[in-house]
Amino acid sequence: MDANSNLKADMYLMTNARFFLGHHITFLREKLTGMHDSKWPQIFSSELKDPSNIQIVSLLAGNFGIDRFMIGDTGLGVAKLLTCGGAGIWTIVDWFLIQDATKQKNMEKIQSMI
């Protein structure tokens, strides 16, 4: 581990920590500091989903499954669309769970690049 890798990892995590769950941060720091320099442009240019924006979409259009489509859960999005958000119950549950689901999807995306 060199100082440059530590600096890049810290900079990335300071600017993007809100896109990940708290327990993912230490794991990400460890992986990012040991990562080869050729992968940094891909990591820095990756577009992560903002959990706050997904939360707003869930509150406004959760019955139609748009929130699930936005984070890449196409199957759940279709199921939510066809059941009108599980008669509204699934929609209400997603109001509380969609931010963590978004952060988990962001973690999966970054892990696939590392």
> pLDDT, tens digit, for every residue of 47-58?
999 999 999 999
Kindly list the distances between the CA atom of residue 51 and the CA atoms of 13, 15, 30, 36, 70, in Å, as whole numbers in the listed order.
16, 14, 23, 28, 11
pLDDT tens string 28-37: 998 888 888 8
Q: Structure pTM?
A: 0.84
At a CB cut-off of 8 Å and minimum separation 6, what does 49 contact? 19, 70, 71, 102, 105, 106
